[in-house]
Structure 1
Amino acid sequence: MKIKKVETFPLLYHLPEPYGDANGYKKYRTCFLFKITTNSGIQGWGECIDWLPTLEKGFQDRIIPYLLGKKATDRIQIVSVVKKWSERAATGISMALTEIVAKSAGLSVCDLWGGKLRDSIPVYASFQSYSEKEDWINHSLKLIDQGVGIGFKKIKVKIGGKVLQEDLAHIQSIQKMLEEKIQLALDANQSYDAATALRWDRYFREWSNMLWFEEPIPMDRLVDYKLLRANLSIPVAGGENLKTTAQFLPLLKEGVVDIIQPDVMHENGLDGYRETIHLSRAFGLRSSPHTFDGPLSRLYALFVQACLPPWSKMDNDKIEPVEWDVMENPFTSLFSVQPTNGSVTIPEGIGIGALLDMDKVKKYRWDRSVYH
């Protein structure tokens, strides 16, 4: 079963109105999909993220020539080579080869991994809170109201991009509107120092619906994270940009977070991602995946959660939620698996068990024009 063909599908969508977080505004959304086909006709889809011209050139000039003729079952060896050139491309390739092996065995991805422990996974609505509108707070409230209206029971909003008092006014408005009946996570995108982050705790102690405080300070300040975890009244979460299990180990060993948040597309291989998730269980910690940037990587994060034992026997069969992008982004709905009332049912079919909307792929295919 050798790789016969690799096709790339770079997708681009220009946002009519920018939105963003403490790191700035997004003016477009991208998605880079590719399909690997074997000489026996079995196909597998992969996904990675980066600047589209860089990915396309890397695939055409180096990655595709390397892949052609390789045995599709040699996933670990192939990924180890490709990650020297592009870690993100290696992750996507590990997805595609995993699907190919599952299909060749007539299994779903979950069955290939030993079988799922649950049929559905909770997801939380992930918002990019800031916009260029003068009344950005009211605009944010409207989006959140829409998300809750379609059944999301957990949400995450951004802070750290405005002065603390303005962000606080935003969160207080959300709490008033939702009457603290919807669980809420706050994500500061590593914007604060420890002293500023601690100022939020007087409000956390008043609110009964808080899920976690995400990346309040830079992730390399482990001593400050230990201070925060010891003094904050809600869980501390982080780790979306870490690339390997080894990079997560200090967080686990030093006890600096309550919840780790690995991202399938940011780690350098699906196998490494699974290793990180399972290692969190050995330390008795929760794992709530970061999956804002890609529909296929989000699907794989759901598969991993479906096969994951609960983090604590006290929670029985409860499982941590997966992030779901609810902002304007046509790529979120590229695959047929979508949430209903705040949870996603794991598909039963072989491979990924989900259909790809090829009409959308054709509609948003990047025309190689310059974008920024």
Structure 2
Amino acid sequence: MAIITAVTARFLEATPEAGVVFGAGDFNTYSMVLVEIHDDSGHVGYGEALARRGGAMTAVAVESLLAPVLIGKDPRNIEGLWVEMVQQLRTWGHVSGVVMEAVSGADTALWDLVGKIEGKPVWQLLAGAGRSEVPVYASSVYISDPDTMVTEALAQQARGFKRLKVKIGRKPHEGGQDADLRALWAIREAVGDELELVVDANGAYDAAGAIRMGRKMEPLDIRWFEEPVFMDDLGGYEQIHGMTSTPLARGETDFGIFTMRDVIEKRLIDVVQPDLGRCGGITGARHIWTLTYAHNLAFAPHTGFSGGYSQLAALHVSAAAPGLLALEHMFIDNPCREIFVGGYPEPTNGMLAVPQGPGLGLELDLEKVDRYTVELPSRQGQPLA
């Protein structure tokens, strides 16, 4: 029997060659929390907790809240350990935020660790659909002038992608919905009807604005309209879904089954997009794919500009999940994704091969990790950076 001996977390931050602009704001640095779980036989499992903001808090949550739950336990009891981690604060209502992001990183690290112990890839441990490669869509064409957006769209089409995500949600002083629509029509005319378009507003609208936009996009044959309003506006989702035929999607800002349950059961969306660094890890994603399949919805995991382990975990989940539509594959520069020896795998003709090595299947480049690690002050009563 393997025994967990140590649980640690590191906050990583890196600056890409160019930042991005979208409905949620501007991002010029990317970050992640890397979780490490060691066992008594020398194996190490890695996972990632989402760290868009305040990653230092998440790192502390892993080590102070979750490590005492895991150390001394058999890592192969993953579902039981997931419940134990969540139950630490569920009684007090903490089933979202930093706590669930910390659980996400620890859970994924457990799956990676067990895969290495058993000598099997995670997708195989999941005993699911058994795909050796998964369909991916190109993401994202960010908000810019129409000519630049068209050029980027054509470049991804030339790479063989069959589906492309485009960001919308311009502010009124940037031209608002009219400018977004002009850019979308320019892209549609350039790529033709064969490339499927999806759009992502990152919660830029209120319900009324999203309804107007959803209706205006209907002639464009948009596959899904992602995050039209904030994730906590369930009434808004209900209004929008009932007043436009453009399908709705969400999931990246949801914290697993606890915040997605009502959304799925009330059929407020058509495409379910859990992010592995936030939804409770691989175990949390498995809970979500079961509920998604039961309600005959499409499953399309989100990756965004998360780091490499969140995206790698999403790839293994996509290989196993029923009802898979497609996995998001980011083509933007992201140093935190390229933390593996040889880099992160690239797709061919819209398909991405699943690593076949034990665990999550790629070797961590420790030199890169050290380069991106942010040194935090002592955690003994001092404020966090």
TM-score, length basis structure 2 = 0.83
Where do 1:1-372 residues align within 5 Å? Answer: 1-50=2-51, 51-59=54-62, 63-64=66-67, 67-83=70-86, 84=88, 86-127=99-140, 129-130=142-143, 136-162=145-171, 163-208=176-221, 210-292=222-304, 293-309=306-322, 311=323, 319-335=324-340, 336-367=344-375
Distance 1:8 1:213, change over 3 A: same
Question: How far off its partner does 1:53 sit?
Answer: 2.7
Question: How far off its partner does 1:238 sit?
Answer: 1.4
CA distance in 1, matches of 2:74, 2:122: 19
Question: How far off its partner does 1:29 sit?
Answer: 0.5
Question: How far off its partner does 1:349 sit?
Answer: 2.1
Is the Cα contact below 8 Å between 2:43 and 2:117 reproduced in 1? yes
Residue in 2 that maps onto 1:316? none
* Gaps in structure 2 of 5+ consecutive residues: 90-98, 378-383
CA distance in 2, matches of 1:65, 1:18: 38
CA distance in 2, matches of 1:100, 1:16: 33
CA distance in 2, matches of 1:91, 1:224: 28
CA distance in 1, matches of 2:214, 2:316: 34
Deviations, residues 194-232 of structure 1 (Å, cap 9, x unaligned): 332233345433224x21111212334444433433342
Which moved further from structure 2: 57-66 or 40-49? 57-66
Question: How far off its partner does 1:350 sit?
Answer: 2.0
Is the Cα contact below 8 Å between 1:23 and 1:161 reproduced in 2? no
Which moved further from structure 2: 326-335 or 270-279? 326-335
Aligned residue identity for 1:364: Y
Is the Cα contact below 8 Å between 1:20 and 1:128 reproduced in 2? no
CA distance in 2, matches of 1:283, 1:186: 23
Question: How far off its partner does 1:296 sit?
Answer: 1.5
CA distance in 2, matches of 1:109, 1:232: 39
Is the Cα contact below 8 Å between 1:337 and 1:354 reproduced in 2? no
Aligned residue identity for 2:282: L
Q: Helix, strand or coil: the match of 1:186?
A: strand
Deviations, residues 13-61 of structure 1 (Å, cap 9, x unaligned): 1245432211110020112223222111122111112223323444455
Which moved further from structure 2: 296-305 or 62-71? 62-71
Distance 1:149 1:4, change over 3 A: same
CA distance in 2, matches of 1:308, 1:267: 15
CA distance in 1, matches of 2:376, 2:321: 40
* Gaps in structure 1 of 5+ consecutive residues: 312-318
Question: Number of aligned pairs?
Answer: 359
Question: How far off its partner does 1:306 sit?
Answer: 1.6
Distance 1:60 1:289, change over 3 A: closer
Question: How far off its partner does 1:122 sit?
Answer: 1.0
Percentage of matched positions with identical amino acids: 30
Q: Helix, strand or coil: the match of 1:46?
A: strand
CA distance in 2, matches of 1:215, 1:42: 39
Is the Cα contact below 8 Å between 1:244 and 1:268 reproduced in 2? yes
Distance 1:224 1:68, change over 3 A: closer
Distance 1:142 1:332, change over 3 A: farther
Distance 1:23 1:115, change over 3 A: closer
Question: How far off its partner does 1:150 sit?
Answer: 2.6
CA distance in 2, matches of 1:206, 1:65: 55
Distance 1:306 1:56, change over 3 A: closer
